Amino acid sequence: MGSKNKLKRFKENEKFDNVFQPTREELLSGNFEFKGRWAKKVFNNSNPITLELGCGKGEYSVELARQNPDVNFIGIDIKGARFWRGAKTANEKNIDNVKFIRAQIELVEYLFEKNEISEIWITFPDPQITFKRTKHRLTNLEFLNKYKKILNINGCINLKTDSEFLHGYTIGLLQAMNNAEILYSNHDIYKRSGSPKEAIEIKTHYENLFLNNDKPITFIKFKI
């Protein structure tokens, strides 16, 4: 993407009422105005909140929101020029139960209060395969502990990926954790029956490319 297009999208994001761009300093200060108040102050309801972490273009967040009007959805990504597409689509189609936040995922506990989130989706994250990149894997122990802080008691996490490595790595961590529960696990959701419909009915652009190359898509649903 050219720099001019990026700048144009950044400018549009600033005007979108469904995009929030808190500064790192604002979050770390502990005074972020919407922490603990997303449903009431932003969505103007008391519906449960689902996050998509590393939402990319926002395709999953927007489609989940369209299919589930009684749930609030928030996509988070540091790359605002990417989720611009999702934010714009949501505005064009009047899907008002989805918002986007430009922030680093490592700051998620500063964005939301304890027990504020009902569900988390992590869709096709970079698996960060090399050992030195372990700290960047979105399902490493440090990140899982952050998610645990903001999830309510019945909250669950969904990991959908084309990486067999990340799938296996995550299962290994969960099996070693106290009180973690794997609700569903599948190494090839499109070739085995019984996959949750929300895992197979929504496909991202890159997921379609993977499928065209006959690459298996894995899925785990779990509690921590």
Distance CA 79, CA 120 (A): 19
The yes-or-no answer on residue 126 being catalytic is yes
Distance CA 142, CA 140 (A): 6
Q: Dihedral through CA 55, CA 125, CA 48, CA 63, nearest 10?
A: 50
Question: Cα 223 from chain centroid?
Answer: 15
CB-based burial label for 176 (10 Å; 0-12, 13-18, 19+) = exposed
Distance CA 47, CA 96 (A): 13
Residue 72 pairs with which residues in a beta bridge?
Answer: 49
Report the run of H or E that residue 208 belongs to, with start and end.
helix 205-212
Other CB atoms within 10 Å distance of the CB of residue 1: 8
> Which residue of the set 126, 162, 188, 214 is catalytic?
126
Distance CA 80, CA 98 (A): 15
Among all residues, which ones are annotated catalytic?
126
